[in-house]
Structure 1
Amino acid sequence: MINYNKYMTVRMLHQYIKLSESYIYKKVSSNTIPHIKVNRSTLFDKDIIDHWLANGCEMREDLPQLIKL
């Protein structure tokens, strides 16, 4: 079961980090933002996004791997 308090949609992430939804989709498309796909939905783990932001929005080896559902 997905904990929806921990995971954000693109719209929620847009509101959280103040980047446009289209820019977030570009980052997802280029695989430069940590995300998971659940059916047709793209979700973002808030803790991992916080870590990603703290690392200057760079994907680093030390980011925990998201579990594919």
Structure 2
Amino acid sequence: MRGYIKGLLLVVYLLSFSGYYIERLEAIGLGVALVLYAGVFGVLLVALWLSANIRQGLVRWVFALGFFASA
């Protein structure tokens, strides 16, 4: 049950910024930039989902510190 709640919270968080994502995609237009943006966004989504499902505490903290440092 706990994993489902994390996934649901992640989806709700990402949907709360859907207007921003749509505005950004319209500003980019069609082309290579759109493909690159979508690729980076996809990698980010996979990384967030994987980090939300890490079971070991130490590994989870290392990921959290890595995300914190990159922000």
TM range (shorter): under 0.3
TM-score between both structures, scaled by the size of structure 2: 0.27
Structure 1 or 2: more strand by fraction: 1
Higher relative contact order (CA 8 A, sep 6+): 2
Q: Which has more radius of gyration?
A: 2
TM-score by length of 1: 0.27
